[in-house]
């Protein structure tokens, strides 16, 4: 799968400079379809919202922008350059703000990257405005297209090489995972007493190597809720009753995960100082009644919705990693191998005088119990959020490459000076 993704990315990078008009047509069709789907979801009651007028307006605007992209591509080109330029300016400011609060040795490279990003974004924006006044094509569009093409080529080569190594020399990737972490996934003593844990599980071989995701969050009394959308039928689209959705209350969430038809491999723990377990549970109920879709509502999306509703703010939107394994790897924090760390330490808080129950409870949610969709699934503009997040991911990848290159040069210079 990595090899296939790499080849597709390379082909896209090679063809984009010569097929820009086709790209604009695809973008227009995408925005039109997204707007139509938004309107249909509101009109048919599939999207629960109290702001129907706003959602209708969002859908109409998306359709209008899509039609403009199809009919007047020059206007779309200008809009794309302006949006990308503004995004680069905002991202540059955010990078500098993050660098100010960091004490890392090489943070100067982050400052430099943020300044260059702001200058480049400003140059693109000024050129786009000047080109609009002069009624000429902006050269900034050429720069944007070349950047996207080069990024796609480099990313494709990386995926291609990684896929071949996974196939031919798998030990390069499996060896680091055999090292056990220094400490179990316990609650740190320096966090507030209200802190609880949210956990993301991954099954590496799931979905023919793309991976599969499950969730766990901790209740106030120390119990855990665990679950996943297994989709054992492997259908790209499936109705709620066919998604393999399951949820359980357990004292041992890892055991609940390992009882499934296919076991899980690793997990990451997130510490939430102000947990909202009731909001997460309402989201679980809502998710149990939603159809499965390989794009926009797969196992990663479900886990993200539930744990974000719980209060885990460090999670990335799945659009930044459409493949479950990639999304899991992009999440911050240490990954615990279940084989090495088969338990999560308990912190039970008995809230009554009755004997504490210890038996795992598999849940069946009655139809009359109402769930609540998370706010980010109620509002429209999902397509624009996907485009924004994808562009941000590209800039973050460039940032890592820029800083890594700076560190390498500095280390080599230091080594040369020591030898002299």
410, exposed or middle or buried, with CB in 10 Å at 0-12, 13-18, 19+? middle
Q: 147 and 230: one domain?
A: no
Integer Cα distance of 29 and 64 in angstroms = 11
pLDDT in tens, 357-369: 667 777 778 888 8
Q: 194 and 124: one domain?
A: no
Least confident residue range of 130-134, 269-273, 386-390: 386-390
Q: 12 and 102: one domain?
A: yes
pLDDT of 420 reads: 62
Residue 372 has pLDDT above 60, yes or no: yes
Q: 178 lies in a domain? A: no
Q: 204 and 82: one domain?
A: no
Q: Count the domains in the chain.
A: 2
Q: 161 and 19: one domain?
A: yes
Least confident residue range of 11-25, 225-239, 328-342, 390-404: 390-404
pLDDT tier at 113 (50, 70, 90 boundaries)?
confident
Q: 70 and 152: one domain?
A: yes
pLDDT of 419 reads: 65
Q: 204 and 335: one domain?
A: yes
CB atoms within 10 A of CB 203: 23
Distances (CA, A) of 386 to 125, 301, 321, 331, 392: 22, 13, 11, 17, 10
Q: 287 and 401: one domain?
A: no
Q: Roughly what angle, to the nearest 10 degrees, separates helices 382-419 and 73-100?
A: 50
Q: What are phi and psi of 196, to 5 degrees?
A: -130, 175
Least confident residue range of 237-251, 258-272, 331-345, 382-396: 382-396
Q: 23 and 156: one domain?
A: yes
Q: 379 lies in a domain? A: no
Element (H, E) at 319: none
Q: 193 lies in a domain? A: yes
Q: 163 and 265: one domain?
A: no
Q: 176 lies in a domain? A: no
Residue 254 has pLDDT above 50, yes or no: yes
Domain of residue 13: give its range. Answer: 2-167+393-406
Mean of the per-residue pLDDT values of the chain: 81
Contacts of 11 (CB under 8 A, 6+ apart): 156
Q: What is the 3-state secondary structure (H, E, C) of 230-295?
A: CCCCCCCEECHHHCCEEEEEECCHHHHHHCCCCCCCEEEEEEECCCCHHHHHHHHHHHCCCCEECC
């Amino acid at each position: 799968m990595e090899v296939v993704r790499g080849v597709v990315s390379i082909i896209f990078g090679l063809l984009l400079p010569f097929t820009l008009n086709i790209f604009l047509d695809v973008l227009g069709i995408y925005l039109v379809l997204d707007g139509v789907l938004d309107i249909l979801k509101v009109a048919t009651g599939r999207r629960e919202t109290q702001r129907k007028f706003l959602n209708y307006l969002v859908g109409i605007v998306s359709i209008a922008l899509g039609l403009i992209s199809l009919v007047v591509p020059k206007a779309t080109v200008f809009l794309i350059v302006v949006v990308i330029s503004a995004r680069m300016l905002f991202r540059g400011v955010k990078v500098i703000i993050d660098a100010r609060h960091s004490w890392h040795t090489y943070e100067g490279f982050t400052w430099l990257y943020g300044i260059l990003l702001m200058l480049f974004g400003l140059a693109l924006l000024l050129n786009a405005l000047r080109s609009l006044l002069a009624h000429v094509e902006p050269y900034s569009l050429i720069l944007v297209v070349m950047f996207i093409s080069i990024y796609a080529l480099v990313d494709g080569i990386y995926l291609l090489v990684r896929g071949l190594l996974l196939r031919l020399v798998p030990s390069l990737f499996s060896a680091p995972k055999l090292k056990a972490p220094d400490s179990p996934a316990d609650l740190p003593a320096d966090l507030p007493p209200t802190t609880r844990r949210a956990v993301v599980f991954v099954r590496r071989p799931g979905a023919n190597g793309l991976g599969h995701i499950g969730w766990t969050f901790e209740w106030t009394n120390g119990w855990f809720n665990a679950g996943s959308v297994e989709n054992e039928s492997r259908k790209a689209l499936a109705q709620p009753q066919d998604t393999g959705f399951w949820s359980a209350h357990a004292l041992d969430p890892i055991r609940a995960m390992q009882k499934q038809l296919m076991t899980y491999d690793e997990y990451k723990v997130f510490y939430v100082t102000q947990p909202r377990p009731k909001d997460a549970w309402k989201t679980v109920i809502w998710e149990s009644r939603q159809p499965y879709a390989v794009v926009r509502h797969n196992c990663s999306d479900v886990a993200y919705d539930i744990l974000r509703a719980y209060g885990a703010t460090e999670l990335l939107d799945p659009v930044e990693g459409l493949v479950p394994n990639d999304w899991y790897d992009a999440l911050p924090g240490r990954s615990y191998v279940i084989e090495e760390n088969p338990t999560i330490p308990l912190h039970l808080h008995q809230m009554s005088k009755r004997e504490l129950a210890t038996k795992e409870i598999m849940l069946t949610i009655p139809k009359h119990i109402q769930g609540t969709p998370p706010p980010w699934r109620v509002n429209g503009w999902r397509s624009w959020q996907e485009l924004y997040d994808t562009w941000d991911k590209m800039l973050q990848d460039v940032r890592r490459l820029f800083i890594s290159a700076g560190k390498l040069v500095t280390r080599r210079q230091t080594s040369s000076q020591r030898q002299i």
